[in-house]
Structure 1
Amino acid sequence: MYVPDGDYNFLLWTLLPKNVEEQSWRSMPAGESFDAVAPMRKDGGQYIAYAALNRSRNADPGFDLSSYVTFGPSLRYVEDTPLYLWQFNTYWSDRQMDWRFLEYRNVEICHAFQQGELPDNEENAEQYSFLLEKGYIRKTEEGYKFNAVWIDSPQTLDRLNKAMPDLSALYAPAVGKLYDKMLNLFLQNQPKHLEPQLAYMVRGNTGGGRLVAYILKHLIDNGKLKPPLPHQQKTISTWMGPVK
């Protein structure tokens, strides 16, 4: 496994979002599946759709919400190929929070660089410009260095997963309490027949990556995690490699 400069704090910015996101899903209260609550359309489409009044002004929560904005995780892979890319966006990551800005070719070009198949010449100028703009590499006195977490095999990924403690049982009470409170809010003034659909969506909004930002901010505020350095902000909470 490759971690830029062997920076343990940088590695935590990847492992923590990855494992919190995965484990908090296992902490979710039981509920209906998507197939059970999403109507099947005559044209074969299946999704939840409903109308609601758009409030022009939301209530002031009394604190800055920007630290709690998240997007992801975004996964990029192609069936029957080993390469895999995982990325999670937060307030601390200097990236567009839009799925369109992450493509599978990112990991393909990074793989070529890691394999030494991308010499620094005029022919590859466009690829190097892309890698620099995305922050995947940075130029140092020793030359170009890869600037993201690279997991070199399925076995390495498996060892990492086993090394992380499973805290899902500790998350469960907090996730359950948050779910109950949010569900009560979402069900206010809504028709009875819509309750299963709303409950499904609330479950998705209280588990998974929703906890990541809160845990990261708590760790930063308590000195357990350092904010990323400027040159790390584009590639924190990102890992990739031939792990499939």
Structure 2
Amino acid sequence: MDREYAESIIIEYLKSIYGFALKRCANLQDAEDLTQDIVLRAFRAMLVKDDLDSPKKFIWTIAHNVLANYYRDRTKTTIGVPIDELAELLPSQDDTLAGSVESELIDHLHREIAYLSKLQRRIVIAYYFENKKQEAIAEELNIPLGTVKWHLFEAKKDLKRGMDTMRQTGELKFNPIKFELCGTNGSPGTKGTNSNFFRSALSQNIVYAVWKEDKTINEIADCLGVSPVYVESEAEYLSEYGFLAENKGKYRCNILLDDPTNELISLHDVMYQEAAKLFANELMEELTNSGILKDKRIICGQTDQPISLSESPRADDNFILWSLVPYIAALSGESLMDKSISFEEVATVRPDGGQNICYASVISPGVKKPMYFDSMKQWCGPCWNRNEDYTLWQIDSEWSDGRVDDNYISKTNRILSILSRLDDSVSDESYAFLEETGIMRTKMNINGNTGWFKSVSQAVWLENTDIKNKLIAIGDHIKEKYWHEFETLKESFVKAVLDETPKHLHKMQKYGLQYTFFSDGWFILHCMKELVNNGKLKLPTGAQKKSLTTIIVPNV
């Protein structure tokens, strides 16, 4: 039925309905409530009916059904109060009102109960459905009796208000987003990398819903078109681990969420592509023409051939460059870097021991993906871990074996511990572990006596800090040479990123932007792609993938 026609019928019968209720109720308040119930049910029923022969008969049929509920429920004494306070909770099973309409109202009511706070839900269910007395509820929940009464009063008002509300289903119900990337800048905790917390579509869409605007649980639920009960528990979990922040009953995003426009992606691609051309090609020329690759302080015997006890194999220059180029790209030019914001100022300390910044990417429909986006989905790093003796620096990419996983920290700590004891007695099991992880291989004598062996580094090993500094200085010179061009490329991109970032996350975003053209995965990836695409860097062999882009550096 047309909404305006339904309203005209209600207006026509409103005075008669109120008189009907007034004659049959014990007090004025009940009469008003009964009138409201009759009008509400009649109006909703008419909206879904197109074949109404007699409005008068229809109105009074509903009025008598609602009145029957009122009389029947008034006799209930199991909970000590008249159920008409919340009559919709216990609808009659033998009402003559059309079953489909009644079922819709019941479903609507159940949805509205879900929109109550957790405490109110527990009280309402205990009081109206489990027939518990208010005193028992107060004792069970360890709260004052007055608090129980107050919540019941407020819940009744909220439910009636909710039943009168036509909730608008949010866009995310029909077009849920999906994180294309989810990463960890910093150290993961015992629960692993941040992507482990965002395996479900619900958790991803909750965070996305509050990316630009703080929302209550109910507002998030409306946006997602799901029950607030599910949102509440998931939001509490995400808040516990610092991915959301709660303030005055509203949740806000506490991760860096990249939801770029085509314009922003174009700025991103041009910036990295141009910077990589300038830096990577000149770095490659310096490394290959200066003779430094032959420096004996750069140690690497990467080979899949049998190891000789009398000869020391040396990896080919191409394999060594696969480690040196990204390493120098990440660490060179640090004197040019803005370090005004520290990691500790913006990182989140998580209950599982992690301390990191979570970042994620969403590609909206109609928005192009950044250049090399599929390659970035296989990228992890730079990762570095250290003890008092050594630093292990590594990148995972489409060109390497997958080495960075939830056990990565424990594996690297074990590697570093073994490396610190190489001069002492190291077990065969430990040497086997170093070979398994691509760090080194060992040749035993024919009798298997560990007193006679030769170990060969499969990763690139810098003998001392002098050679490290010499390598980094090459990159320093190139970045200083092109720094004006880098800054010009970066300026428009940084402004566009911050314009898309909520104000409360600006400091966190600025911290990450400090590393543009330094330990910046996108910059390093573009450098490697530039060299692979123009043929200056040859693809690694299958045997080299386990040890690729891995450098071991002494700390002193």
TM-score after normalising by structure 2: 0.35
**Distance apart, 1:136 and its partner CA:** 2.2
CA distance in 1, matches of 2:403, 2:392: 16
1:228 counterpart = 2:540: yes
Name the aligned partner's letter for residue 413 of structure 2.
Y
SS for the counterpart of 2:515 is helix
Larger mean CA deviation between 49-58 and 176-185 belongs to: 49-58
Task: Name the aligned partner's letter for residue 208 of structure 1.
Answer: S
Structure 2 CA distance for partners of 1:165 and 1:10, relative to 1, 3 Å: farther
Alignment map for 1:54-65 (pairs within 5 Å): 59-61=367-369, 63-65=371-373
- CA displacement 1:106-143 (0-9 Å, x = unmatched): 13334655x5844xxxx62x324322321223578998
Alignment of 1:121-200 (within 5 A): 124=428, 126-138=429-441, 145-162=456-473, 166-173=477-484, 175-188=486-499, 190-192=501-503, 194-200=505-511
Distance 1:12 1:177, change over 3 A: same
Q: Tell me how far apart the structure 2 counterparts of residues 187 and 158 of structure 1 sit (CA, whole Å).
A: 34
2:406 aligned with 1:90: no
1:28-84 superposed Cα distances (whole Å, 9 cap, x missing partner)? 4x474238964999xxxxx99899997776833275423345433322222xx3233
CA 1:162 to 1:26, structure 2 compared with 1: closer, same or farther past 3 Å? closer
Where in structure 2 are the equivalents of 1:17-36 lying within 5 Å? 17-23=326-332, 25-28=334-337, 30=338, 32-34=340-342
Higher RCO, 1 vs 2 (CA within 8 Å, ≥6 residues apart): 1
**Residue matched to 2:188:** none
Q: 1:24 touches 1:172 (CA, 8 Å); kept in 2?
A: no
Return 81-90 or 63-72, whichever deviates more: 63-72
- Tell me, what secondary structure is at the counterpart of 1:135? coil
| Partner-residue secondary structure (3-state), 2:401 | coil
Distance 2:471 2:545 in 1: 23
Which residue of structure 2 lines up, in the alignment, with residue 215 of structure 1? 527
CA distance in 1, matches of 2:553, 2:502: 47
Structure 1 residues 68 and 107, CA gap change in structure 2 (3 angstroms) = same
Alignment deviations for residues 85-106 of structure 1 (CA, whole Å, 9 cap, x no partner)? 2223333221334474142221
Alignment CA distance shift 1:116-1:199 (3 Å): closer
Q: Partner letter of residue 66 of structure 1?
A: D
How many Å separate the matches in 1 of 2:555 and 2:339? 31
Offset at 1:154?
A: 3.1
Q: Is the 8 A contact 1:89 1:95 kept in 2?
A: yes
CA distance in 1, matches of 2:455, 2:327: 27
Superposition map of 1:8-47 within 5 A? 8-23=317-332, 25-28=334-337, 30=338, 32-34=340-342, 38=346
Question: What is the one-letter code of the residue matched to 2:533?
Answer: D
Measured after TM superposition, the shift of residue 20 of structure 1 is: 0.6
The letter of the residue matching 1:180 is E
Q: Secondary structure at the match of 1:169?
A: helix
Q: 1:9 to 1:140 in 2, by over 3 A?
A: farther
Partner of 1:238: 550
1:203 partner letter: Q
Report the alpha carbon displacement of residue 173 of structure 1 after superposing the two structures with TM. 4.2
Contact 1:72 1:88 (8 Å CA) reproduced: yes
Cα distance change, pair 187–161 in 1 and its aligned pair in 2 (3 A): closer
CA change 1:173–1:37 in 2 (3 A) is farther
- Residues 460 and 550, structure 2, Cα contact 8 Å, conserved in 1: yes
Q: Is 2:363–2:369's contact at 8 Å kept on the other side of the alignment?
A: no
Q: What is the TM-score with the length of structure 1 in the denominator?
A: 0.71
Higher helix share: 2
**Counterparts of 1:171 and 1:139 in 2: how far apart (Å)?**
44
The amino acid of 1:238's aligned partner reads T
How far the C-alpha of 1:171 sits from its partner, in A, is: 4.7
Amino acid at match of 1:221: N
* Map 1:94-105 → 2, pairs under 5 A: 94-98=401-405, 100-102=407-409, 103-105=412-414
- Alignment: residue pair count: 230
State whether residues 346 and 507 of structure 2, in contact with CA within 8 Å, keep that contact through their aligned partners in structure 1: no
CA distance in 2, matches of 1:58, 1:205: 27
Residues 84, 185 of structure 1: alpha-carbon distance in 2 compared, 3 angstrom cutoff:
same
Describe the shift of the 1:48–1:183 C-alpha distance in structure 2 as closer, same or farther (beyond 3 A). Answer: farther
Show structure 2 runs of 5+ residues with no match. 1-296, 302-313, 350-354, 446-453
Specify whether residues 177 and 57 from structure 1 end up closer, same or farther in structure 2 by C-alpha distance, changes over 3 A only.
Answer: farther
Which amino acid is 1:201 matched to?
G
Distance 1:53 1:116, change over 3 A: closer
User: Unaligned regions of 5+ residues in structure 1, if any?
Assistant: 42-46
CA distance in 2, matches of 1:127, 1:226: 32
Say whether the 8 Å CA contact 1:152–1:243 is kept in structure 2: no
What is the CA distance between 1:187 and its match in structure 2? Answer: 3.0
CA 1:176–1:68 in 2, change beyond 3 Å: closer, same or farther?
farther
Taking structure 1 as reference, are residues 100 and 184 closer, same or farther at Cα in structure 2, changes over 3 Å only? farther
1:234 is displaced (CA, Å) by 1.7
Find the residue that maps to 1:14 and give its secondary structure.
helix
